[in-house]
Amino acid sequence: MALDKSFAEIPRELEFVLNCVKCSPTEKESICILLSPDMDWDYVLRLSMAHSIFPLVYNTLNSLDTLIIPEYVINSLRQSSIMNAIKVVGMSNEIVRIINNMNEYGIQVLILKGSPLSVKINEDIAYRPSNDIDILVDPLEFASAEKILVQMGYSRVYPDFLLTPRQQEAFFTRCNHFEYFHLKRNIHVELHWRIRFYNVKYFPPLSKLKTQKMNLSGCLVSVMDNEYWLIFLMVHGHKHMWSRLRWLYDIKEFMKMNIDWDKLIIQADISGLRPIINQTLILANELLDVPIPQCMVQSVANDQKAWQLAFTAIDKLFININELSLPGPKFLALKKNIFDDLDYYNLPWKSKLFLIFSLFKPCEVEFKLISLPDNLYPLYYFIRPLYLLWRGIVRG
Amino acid sequence: MEVYILKIRDGFMLREVAEQWVVIPLGERVVEFNGIMTLSESGAALWKEMEKNVLEEDLVRFILKEYSVDEKIAKTDVLEFVNAVRKKGLLEE
């Protein structure tokens, strides 16, 4: 199977930024060949920003000795790269502070992406755009970890109201993380208690994950072992429909590491993730010329579901930049376009039914709307459909 | 005559990003430090010297050693740089 049909429609500007992502700045020829005087540079800028690849595009463009690139494009990319560096270097320091505080109380934390991922793929941490710090803790240590974050000056912003024990239980069943914000440091933290997505059958909790330590500014930071980390990055990209090329760049660079593919496949199959692994390999190969590992070629070639997922992701990538909605679909956004999105995720009908029924379970909207004591919690099951009905009427 | 030791306040670091030297605020300095401060090569060299807690004369001597300028220009440049850093609130006072 090939993706040529979709590729025929690729805009020149997208092809250009794709080349900036897949080629090193030293491979100037393959990048220069796409430069033309009628290039829509605003479109290039929008793509670079929307796909969080502006530092990569800046490095490439800055290395080219040509007058075709307007000065404002280079300046804009440079400015964004500097602003990003200021943000992520601060976040990197904050990761160290959080880990030191958590360690003091004996709480094990695992960093999911951010600066440790830059270190892993041998990239300057200043060049990886990041909006928040993603931390995974054991569900049993979640309450203590939250307490430490609050002591460090963080306030919870999602959910942004006090939860009763029953409401908290509902959140724990339905969601994966709470969000926090440090007003004086201007930093967002997502505290995860599990990795979960509705077509991921199983992802080990922190206590069962194999981990490795990495050195970040002199601090030893725990991250997943190479195989689970790569699986996680693939699941994360899939979950967000690969709406950012930056995630695919991470995969490309990560695949240069020492990966035990046999081990990865065993772990992926336990979790029913083979199509997601294959989808990622197809995308990385088709878009960024990443070779498919020999041991995976047969698996990729025969995986119809993976090709379908890859086609859908590429179609979404090629839509007009004005229609891009970033970041990718979160749970609430999914509810909005549930039928379209369910097609993409290619869920079995049982999961689809489960997901549709779960829409009728009470959630944060009702908890925030009407605060009920736990003994009246069942009333939320009546409030929820009424609220949905009211919302439907108001929205017409 | 008072002698001032020039000392960069804690919570600021110098880093090269996109071929520019940038002063990066850390921790709670993020909110109090507005805007961006970029430095030239010579500005970055002076900043690195100031991280060693030096006197203004030390900076002048450093400039004279590293760059082929006369003393008058070196003094003017150092004064201008120190004032700019002070104005941004980056010096321990």
* pLDDT confidence of residue A320: 53
CB-CB contact of A3 with A311 (8 Å): yes
- Structure token digits, residue A76: 């804009």
* pLDDT confidence of residue A348: 73
Q: Structural domain boundaries of chain A?
A: 87-224, 364-395
- Helix (H) or strand (E) holding A181, with range, is strand A177-182
Sheet containing B37-39: give its strands across. B12-17, B20-25, B37-39
The string of pLDDT tens digits covering residues A240-250 is 889 999 999 99
| Residues 6 or more apart in contact with residue A288 via CB below 8 angstroms | A18, A21, A22, A248, A249, A252
Cα dist. A192→A183, A335, A345 in Å?
Answer: 20, 21, 22
Shortest distance between the Cα of B34 and any Cα of chain A, in A, equals: 12
Domains, chain B, ordered by start: 5-87 (1.10.10)
Query: What is the average per-residue pLDDT within B34-62?
Result: 93
Q: Look up the CATH architecture of domain A87-224.
A: 2-Layer Sandwich (3.30)
Which of B26, B27, B36 is the closest to A82 by Cβ?
A: B36
The string of pLDDT tens digits covering residues A160-195 is 999 999 999 999 988 899 999 999 999 999 999 999
Cα B74 from Cα B72, distance rounded (Å) = 5
ipTM of model: 0.81
Instruction: Read off the DSSP letter of residue B91.
Output: B
Shortest distance between the Cα of B48 and any Cα of chain A, in A, equals: 18
- Structure token digits, residue A367: 């908890």
**Residue B35 one-letter amino acid:** G
Which of A77, A90, A94 is the closest to B24 by Cβ?
A: A90
- Structure token digits, residue A83: 């602003």
Q: Does A17 touch chain B (CB under 8 A)?
A: no
Instruction: Give A 52-71 residues with CB within 8 A of chain B.
Output: 55, 58-59, 62
Tens of pLDDT along chain A (396 residues) come to: 554 445 556 788 998 999 998 887 677 777 888 888 889 999 999 999 999 999 999 999 988 877 789 999 999 999 999 999 999 999 999 999 999 999 999 999 999 999 999 999 999 999 999 999 999 999 999 999 999 999 999 999 999 999 999 999 999 988 899 999 999 999 999 999 999 876 677 889 999 999 999 999 899 999 999 999 999 999 999 988 899 999 999 999 999 999 999 999 999 998 889 999 999 999 999 999 999 999 999 999 999 999 999 998 888 887 655 555 444 444 334 444 555 556 666 667 777 777 777 788 888 889 998 999 999 999 999 999 888 888 888 876
Helix axes A338-345, A349-358, angle to 10 degrees: 150
Contact residues on chain A for B39, CB-CB shorter than 8 A = none
Q: In Å, how far from its chain's centre is CA A37? A: 35
CB-CB contact of A53 with A21 (8 Å): yes
- Structure token digits, residue A363: 């959630």
Largest CA distance in chain A: 71
Nearest CA in chain B to A127: B17
SS3 for A177? strand
Strands A132-137 vs A187-192: parallel, antiparallel or unpaired: parallel
Q: Does A391 touch chain B (CB under 8 A)?
A: no
Shortest distance between the Cα of B64 and any Cα of chain A, in A, equals: 31
CB-CB contact of A22 with A289 (8 Å): yes
> Is the dihedral angle over the CA atoms A286, A287, A290, A292 positive or is it negative?
negative
Query: What is the average per-residue pLDDT within B42-46?
Result: 95
8 Å CB contact of B22 and A82: yes
Taking the alpha carbons at both ends of chain A, their separation in whole angstroms is 43
CB-CB contact of A321 with A50 (8 Å): yes
CB-CB contact of A290 with A18 (8 Å): no
- Structure token digits, residue A108: 């094990």
Shortest distance between the Cα of A394 and any Cα of chain B, in A, equals: 40
The string of pLDDT tens digits covering residues A50-70 is 999 999 999 999 888 777 899
- pTM above the 0.90 mark? no
Cα dist. A111→A8, A78, A132, A136 in Å?
Answer: 39, 28, 11, 6
Q: In Å, how far from its chain's centre is CA A50? A: 13
Cα dist. B20→A1, A55, A81, A186, B37 in Å?
Answer: 46, 13, 10, 24, 10
